[in-house]
């Protein structure tokens, strides 16, 4: 199971996934080999303690080291907001969180983990937030990648997603910004800094609702650097001790950050903020400007909602929304227009007179990034998740039309069947291997225009040959129950079955009327050639002219093309001949043709051609063909 999150827009049973779809009997340990968590955001990990400690899953859980360190902080903060401040029924306790994390197995990037005999998994750097990973999973010969959330462009504190080029049956990718192509990051930063600076310069307060981990650090680095350059004295606050804890982990896990942060770490830690301070609740209504980072990011509750209630009615203040907000949250309502009032519940209404500033500092990749990753991996199938349906439909059409890859966007509870790859490992016999090493010559005639050798052209009546060695592994796959598959040569199979080789050969004797046979005989009598040779040479000449690109070999007694043989028949009563009285003329010559089943099409093309250039008057019907064993 990939991820175990919660829906931030619901307060009822819809908050958690419907785990009964995994197992009606709730025997989750039997149904799941493992759970994989891609990163610490609540929409990916929020339901994990509930699933393990309340629903009873006891199997292994895999996540990266930073995710294992930071997820408990997010979960405990969510639990406190839910129970201590909102008075809701407790879904899981602090003890549940710690017991859940004891089941977690931390993994490194690009570390291949063998979960069991069949399943292996591997994590790849995803950007997005500290410790976020894409996961590669392989069962037998079937392989897939689940991206979780990722970012294809680096920012100030994290690098871009990185993954190997893999052979995949399936790619499951997020599609948060399925149709959005973001503009320059620097232009967005300038616009954000301008809006914040203008607000505090006018004496207003700036509320930046953000999750404690991820965008908070990105924007703090940006504002701290700007405050230093502009020599501003307006205080910047963090709302919760959670972010202080998070910054401590960011300092410890410096190897997971961007290249720039790692390069400057020796002289200055980017997460030691000079202008950022802790916030006390008593300062909510304090006079004077300030900038406040408050959680959660979507204003779905918690301290950000508490501050919003106080600051929203003032026109001087600014609410800047730097990321995506789920439908149903206050943040989403603010982004959907410019509301003058927002109803929190039937008893609570908030006047909204403050400025609303929406700017995408989201750590999610945009549509270009999704297309680039899909093109790079070139999976056989794509499934889109984590997005809004109308935009996902548009992205699906792009993937199918531009990349020619089947794409699906299943709704919750839908089942999708994806064809997968199966490789059969087979033992190859020695005879089969030797046969593969034998030359397999193919002879093709070059046209005279391609040959610059004038002497050869003048002295050799036939066009020069082009010889190709096209070796082909021709064998027989044998699969017996309980035994390993084998590839054998046909001679091996005959021995195994105790049988003799049985060839089906086609034979046909046809009558040909050669109009200039007498002229040819007179010339060949002078050269001492027999009638038999004369007829065969005349046929050779006609066939060579007609099939200029085919190698027709004159072997003296017969002509040969692949398995097709043709020779002059000297028998008075050939068993493969059908004649009538009109063919009993002096100029009649009989040709015996034989070929194997593999070259039947070629044989009839040659015979039909012979008919077209009037070597054969009356071609008998195909039903007259005899077979010899």
Q: Which of 614, 612, 606 is nearest to 508 (CA)?
A: 606
How far apart, in whole angstroms, are the C-alpha atoms of residue 76 and residue 301? 15
Q: Report yes or no: 271 and 250 within 8 Å, Cβ to Cβ.
A: yes
Q: Report yes or no: 88 and 12 within 8 Å, Cβ to Cβ.
A: no
Residue that is written with structure tokens 């509301």 in the block: 339
Q: What are phi and psi of 282, to 5 degrees?
A: -70, -15
Give the total residue count for the chain: 629
Whether the bond into 92 is cis, omega within 30 of 0: no
Q: Is 557 a catalytic residue?
A: no
Q: Which of 361, 483, 349, 364 is nearest to 424 (CA)?
A: 483
Q: Report yes or no: 141 and 421 within 8 Å, Cβ to Cβ.
A: yes
SS3 278: strand
Q: What are phi and psi of 45, to 5 degrees?
A: -135, -5
How far apart, in whole angstroms, are the C-alpha atoms of residue 203 and residue 286? 12
Spell out the alpha helix ranges (H) of 185-313: 185-201, 215-230, 241-252, 259-264, 302-311
Q: Report yes or no: 464 and 446 within 8 Å, Cβ to Cβ.
A: yes
Helix and strand numbers (H, E) in the chain are: 19, 29
Choosing from 174, 306, 542, 585, the catalytic residue is: 174
Q: Report yes or no: 373 and 127 within 8 Å, Cβ to Cβ.
A: no
Q: Which of 578, 554, 575, 577 is nearest to 566 (CA)?
A: 554
Per residue, what are the HEC states of 43-102?
A: HHHCCHHHHHHHCCCCCCEEEEHHHHHHHHHHHHHHHHHHHHHCCCCCCCCHHHHHHHHC
Taking CA atoms, 337 is separated from 319, 330, 358, in Å, by 13, 12, 10
SS3 217: helix
SS3 402: helix
Alpha carbons within 13 angstroms on the beta-carbon side of residue 23 total: 14
How far apart, in whole angstroms, are the C-alpha atoms of residue 359 and residue 148? 23
How far apart, in whole angstroms, are the C-alpha atoms of residue 427 and residue 140? 18
For residue 313, give the DSSP letter: T
How far apart, in whole angstroms, are the C-alpha atoms of residue 346 and residue 334? 18
How far apart, in whole angstroms, are the C-alpha atoms of residue 330 and residue 298? 7
* Separation of CA 19 from chain center: 27
For residue 560, give the DSSP letter: E
Residue that is written with structure tokens 């064993």 in the block: 629
How far apart, in whole angstroms, are the C-alpha atoms of residue 47 and residue 65? 19
Q: Which residues are catalytic?
A: 174
């Amino acid at each position: 199971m990939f991820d175990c999150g919660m829906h931030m827009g619901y307060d009822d049973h819809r908050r958690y996934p419907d785990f009964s779809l995994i197992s009606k009997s709730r025997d989750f340990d039997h149904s799941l080999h493992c759970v994989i968590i891609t990163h610490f955001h609540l929409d990916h990990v929020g339901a994990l303690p509930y699933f393990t400690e309340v629903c009873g899953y006891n199997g292994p859980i895999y996540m990266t080291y930073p995710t294992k360190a930071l997820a408990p902080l997010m979960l405990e903060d969510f639990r406190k907001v839910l129970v201590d401040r909102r008075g809701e029924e407790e879904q899981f306790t602090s003890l549940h969180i710690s017991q859940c994390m004891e089941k977690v197995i931390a993994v490194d990037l690009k570390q291949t983990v063998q979960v069991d005999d069949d399943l292996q998994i591997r994590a790849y750097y995803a950007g997005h937030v500290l410790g976020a990973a894409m996961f590669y999973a392989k069962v037998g010969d079937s392989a897939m990648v689940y991206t979780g959330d990722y970012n294809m462009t680096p920012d100030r504190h994290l690098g871009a997603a990185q993954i190997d080029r893999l052979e995949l049956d399936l790619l499951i990718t997020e599609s948060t910004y399925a149709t959005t192509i973001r503009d320059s990051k620097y232009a967005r930063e300038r616009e954000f800094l301008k809006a914040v600076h203008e607000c505090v310069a006018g004496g207003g307060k700036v509320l930046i609702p953000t999750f404690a981990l991820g965008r908070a650090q990105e924007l703090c680095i940006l504002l701290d650097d700007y405050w230093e350059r502009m020599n501003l004295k307006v205080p910047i606050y963090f709302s919760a001790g959670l972010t202080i804890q998070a910054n401590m982990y960011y300092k410890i896990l410096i190897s997971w950050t961007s290249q720039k942060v790692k390069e400057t770490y020796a002289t200055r830690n980017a997460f030691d903020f000079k202008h950022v301070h802790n916030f006390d609740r008593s300062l909510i209504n304090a006079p004077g400007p300030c900038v406040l980072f408050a959680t959660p990011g979507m204003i779905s509750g918690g301290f950000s909602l508490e501050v919003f209630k106080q600051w929203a009615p003032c026109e001087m203040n600014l609410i800047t929304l730097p990321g995506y907000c789920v439908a149903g949250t206050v943040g989403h309502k603010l982004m959907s227009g410019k509301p003058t009032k927002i109803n929190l519940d039937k008893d609570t209404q908030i006047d909204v007179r403050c400025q609303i500033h929406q700017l995408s500092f989201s750590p999610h990749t945009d549509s270009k990034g999704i297309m680039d990753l899909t093109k790079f991996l070139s999976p056989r199938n794509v499934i889109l998740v984590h997005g809004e349906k109308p935009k996902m439909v548009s992205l699906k059409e792009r993937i199918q039309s531009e990349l020619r890859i089947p794409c699906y966007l299943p709704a919750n509870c839908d089942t999708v069947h994806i064809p997968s790859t199966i490789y059969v490992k087979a033992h190859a016999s020695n005879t089969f291997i030797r046969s593969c090493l034998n030359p397999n010559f193919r002879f093709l005639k070059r046209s005279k225009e391609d040959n610059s050798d004038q002497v050869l052209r003048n002295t050799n009546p036939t066009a020069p040959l082009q010889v190709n060695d096209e070796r082909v592994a021709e064998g027989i796959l044998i699969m017996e129950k309980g035994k390993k598959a084998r590839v054998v040569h046909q001679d091996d199979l005959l021995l195994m079955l105790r049988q003799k080789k049985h060839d089906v050969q086609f034979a046909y004797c046809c009558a040909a009327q050669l109009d200039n046979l007498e002229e040819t005989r007179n010339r060949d009598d002078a050269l001492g050639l027999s009638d038999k040779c004369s007829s065969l040479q005349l046929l050779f000449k006609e066939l060579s002219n007609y099939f200029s690109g085919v190698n027709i070999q004159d072997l003296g007694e017969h002509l040969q093309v692949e398995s097709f043989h043709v020779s002059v028949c000297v028998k008075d009563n050939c068993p493969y001949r059908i004649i009538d009285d009109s063919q009993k003329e002096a100029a009649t010559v009989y040709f015996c043709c034989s070929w194997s089943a593999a070259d039947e099409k070629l044989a009839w093309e040659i015979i039909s051609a012979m008919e077209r250039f009037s070597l054969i008057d009356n071609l008998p019907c195909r039903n007259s063909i005899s077979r010899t064993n």
